Structure 1
Amino acid sequence: MDQLATTSPPFCKLNTDESRLRETGLASAGGVVRDYLGAFIQGFSVNIGLVSIFLTELWGCREGLILCGSKGLKHLVVEMDSSSAVQVIKGLKEHDSLATVLISDIRRLRAEFDSIIFQHIFCEGNSAADFLAEIGHNLSVGTTVYDSPPPGLNFFLKRDMMGVAFLRH
């Protein structure tokens, strides 16, 4: 977050991630929005159903952009641990026809921000979003928004802010 704190105007950060159950193929996504100092603004989990990992990454990004837009945020850094999704969003890589609607939505939504940066982050730095993505499996289909961190999230928020690496499950 320290790079964001020195940026003018201050940027907020959206981290998103996906989760997919191996046994069933059911997917969920999650994300966390933080201010330029790293403080929690809002988070979300979305239970999607049976879709590919790539589409789940895009779905999570779209949900996060909708959330940030509804909060009136204008300057945003979006971090995802899928370099393929980031490349497709930036128009640097082709995508299959199944992703067309999600990509179109993301590109339309990004136009609502004064400035927006999409970048790849290694999964070890994206643990808070991963935590919220995994929660999504236990929720009803649809999106759940968190105005305060759900139990257990603060641990991962601190790890992400400190850059602590750990093995993911």
Structure 2
Amino acid sequence: MVEARAIAKGLQWVWNRGIRDLEVQIDATEVLNWITDHTMLRGPARVIVEDIRGWQMRFRKLVLRSIFREQNIAADRLATIRSSQETNWKDHIDPPVGLNEILTDEMMGIPCMRMVVCNNHA
């Protein structure tokens, strides 16, 4: 649910800054399925997902793409920073401490390690 709220708020934020072509990378597969599969939801989740679908119609191009959690290091770092703040939303003029390196690695396509656990049944 937190992921869905963040997507809705992020779409509004970029729209208000004039961005009309966007790719949103999501590591919450369930939320992505709610949005793209037109799953019938109830309660607050339904309202948030309908809001996201409404935003989808406004953008010239909006791609929602599933990624592994390990590929979402920058978002995880921002979520960690957010958890220590009392505000609901904060615009950063400059990236918070420690985020510049993560963003640079992402822009350069530097791969990150992904742990895969295999259960070998002999």
Which bracket does the TM-score occupy, shorter chain normalised?
0.7 to 0.9
The residue aligned with 1:150 is 96
Hey, what does 2:10 align to over in structure 1?
Answer: 64
SS state of the match for residue 131, structure 1? helix
Counterparts of residues 79-90 of structure 1 (less than 5 Å): 79-90=25-36
Instruction: Give the match for residue 48 of structure 2.
Output: 102
Superposition misfits of 4+ residues, deviation over 3 angstroms: 92-96
| Residue equivalent to 1:126 | 72
Distance of 1:62 and 1:147 partners within structure 2:
21
* Structure number with larger C-alpha Rg: 2
Task: Report deviation, 1:143.
Answer: 0.5
Pairwise CA distance, 1:163: 3.7
State the alpha-carbon separation in 2 of the partners of residues 62 and 107 from structure 1. 9
Whole-Å Cα distance in 1 between the matches of residues 33 and 21 of structure 2? 20
Which amino acid counterpart does residue 98 of structure 1 have in structure 2?
Answer: P
More strand by share: 1
SS of residue paired to 2:62: strand
Structure 1 gap segments, 5+ residues each: 1-54
CA contact (8 A) 1:74 1:115 kept: yes
Higher helix share: 2
What percent of counterpart residues are identical? 27
Aligned pairs, number = 114
Q: Please tell me the root mean square deviation across aligned C-alpha atoms, in Å.
A: 1.8
